[in-house]
Chains A and B, each alone.
Chain A
Amino acid sequence: MSNEMLLAAQKPVLTDNVISMNNVRKAYTTGKVTFEALKGVDFHARRGEFLAIVGPSGSGKSTMMNIIGCLDIPTSGDYVLDDQVVNKLNSNQLADIRNRKIGFVFQAFNLLPYATAYENVEVPLLFARVNARQRKERIMALLSRVGLADKVANKPTEMSGGEMQRVAIARALANEPDIILADEPTGNLDTKSGGGIVQLFHELWQSGKTIIIITHDMNIARQSGRVFKLKDGLVDTNGNGI
């Protein structure tokens, strides 16, 4: 079954906008030099959507990801996430949003090196103050879901790249966020492992999650429902959709 057919056959019903950005700008100042990474971007994502943000290096992809993920706030413009105006939140509220509404998957996995798979998945649950019994149940369920039920006690150094990324995905799902935000999730993986990860994203999307993947890999972008192109900090209107 080709991907197109898969998408057509099982497309979930899209509802309201979960992410809404209007004229978002982001400037970084180093000494006297100011660099504008985003120069007024409008971006919307509907609940349950699977979309890819693509663009060459320096196009502002990572900045987009930081702002969507509430790791950074825009210099100007509005960012509304799930009916909350992110610009107006304090650092604790931002931390809580990252904890509960967004699941991050990074290119470099970003697992805690000294902790086991189990403990890595536990971290967001600790911040959410989930009790011990529920934590255990959820961690075991998540690790089986990503196919690592037998690697619970393994540390990152004892796992392959694909396995590490699966742990990271399990961790991203810990607090059942609406949005999975992935930054080049297959960038450090071989084709086979990468394919498995993309497959996992598809399954998550089918279960109702909003998936946003930042990538420069057109093969992955093609498998998403919609492609959002960035170039030089602006929306690339040339050929929206591949």
Chain B
Amino acid sequence: MLPLHTVKQFFTDMRRQKLRTAMTTFGIFWGTCSIVLLFAFGQGLRESQVESQKGLGENIGIFWPGITSKDHKGLPRGRQVQFTEDDIRMVKTKALTIERISPEFSKWNVSLKVGRTNMVQNVIGIWPEFGEMRNLIPTEGSRFINEQDLDQRRRVVFIGDQLADQLFNNSALTGGGNSSPQGSEKYQLEIQKVADRAIGQQVLVNGVPFTVIGVMKPKKQDSSYNGRDARKAYIPASTFNTMYSRRYPNNFVVQAKPTETIKKSKEEILSILGAKYRFDPTDREALAVWDVSEGIEFMNSFFGAFQMFLVGIGVATLITGGIGVSNIMNVVLEERTKEIGIKMALGARKSYILVQFIVETLMITGIGGLFGFLFAFGIVSIFPALQLEDYIGVPRVDIFGGILVTVLLGVIGLIAGIFPARRAANLQPVQALKLF
């Protein structure tokens, strides 16, 4: 009954003081809008950075040969440590924390030829597990290298999307027939078409015919070694060795079990290989290790902090809006002193006056907040149409953002309202009526 009366009064007031109410509400509108937008863009940026990191692979580590830096069991430091494909097999059977492992043989400046198109690129020899670890996902209708390919030393090749585009998209003259931006849906479709054309075709690798079995689905990747996956050609490790007879792989890639960390796998692998090649497992230079999950973690926390910083700016804006509301409520109080006095003379309790002021403040913050949220949400919704996601990701408002804004608005509304409301409620009826 009473709150209804208050709401009615609020709307009467709003009509009487259109400009003032509008400007006050705008302060809250703008503050809410800032928070939601900054939150959304921060979130999008963080997610796109983390996703790019994951392009290399999740929970993986990459191991290179190194040189010992510690004396160990009577052997001097400075010895070269190298591993063979057999060592990697041994690690696979002995290490308990790892899910997958694969050697990586790499050869640069290999000629790849389709018809009259000739590209010089990096060819990689790997085990089938490599694909899943490193997120080399085949396009529809194509596949990655499998166990039979490895066992039978088949001459099959899996190629990166950009390389496929160059080889099979009449790209001899343009150097890449596809002009659509990376990561866009159009590009994805284009690559699918290229893949459909390429599967089953022959590529001459250093003059040796290989059958294309798969093309990589385009992916985001912002860190790499030996070049981008999109520009490489992958063949079975066994086939690679028959062609180039390499004793030592360039490196190997390990994926830890989902419940384990690369940190643990690294210790395990260092102690297994350390026992064989007699180096100190704590020697950090015997093998060079890149823990990719560390990078993901770093990106997550760095951009998480960046997002909080952005939200902080938004919160400050909203607080400024809240101060504006509080000021206006003080003005309203001055204007209404007499009215408050009349109501008190007619039997209004303090709590009624208090509630009236707080409800009015909450209405202003609520309405401003709602419109701010909707406006920001609208911007976030139409943003993907601008196709800027490669640069700043896709802004996104999640439930956490929604709750954050709601709680903040509530708190700011209450704080902005409580001081003028208490002043109003604590007026003596006589003072309010200005009877003396």
Please report A residues at the B interface, Cβ cutoff 8 Å: 28, 37, 62-63, 65-66, 69, 71-72, 91-92, 95-96, 98-100, 104, 106, 110-112, 114, 123-124, 126-129, 171, 175, 183
Contacts and interface: CB of A to CB of B under 8 A. Distances in A.
Nearest to B12: A114
| Nearest 4 Cβ contacts at the A-B interface | A99-B347, A127-B347, A71-B429, A124-B346
Nearest to A94: B429
A90 to B, nearest CB: 10
A78 to B, nearest CB: 20
A71 B431 CA distance: 9
23 contacts: A37-B436, A63-B436, A66-B435, A71-B345, A71-B429, A71-B435, A95-B348, A98-B344, A98-B346, A98-B347, A98-B429, A99-B346, A99-B347, A100-B347, A104-B345, A106-B433, A110-B338, A114-B9, A123-B343, A126-B1, A126-B2, A127-B343, A183-B435
A31 B426 CA distance: 20
A59 B98 CA distance: 98
Given A95-B349, A128-B347, A110 B436 contact: no
Interface in B333-373: 338-339, 341-352
A111 B352 CA distance: 18
Contacts, number: 72
- How big is chain B's contact interface, by range? 20 to 34
A127 B342 contact: no
Contacts of A63: 436
A96 B433 contact: no
B430 interface: yes
B116 interface: no
Given A63-B436, A66-B430, A114-B12, A91 B350 contact: yes
Interface residues of chain B: helix, strand, loop or mixed (majority): helix
A95 B344 contact: yes
B5 interface: yes
Contacts of B433: 71, 106, 110
Contacts of A37: 436
Given A66-B435, A95-B348, 5 more contacts: A28-B436, A69-B345, A71-B433, A99-B347, A127-B347
A91 B426 CA distance: 10
A114 B350 CA distance: 22
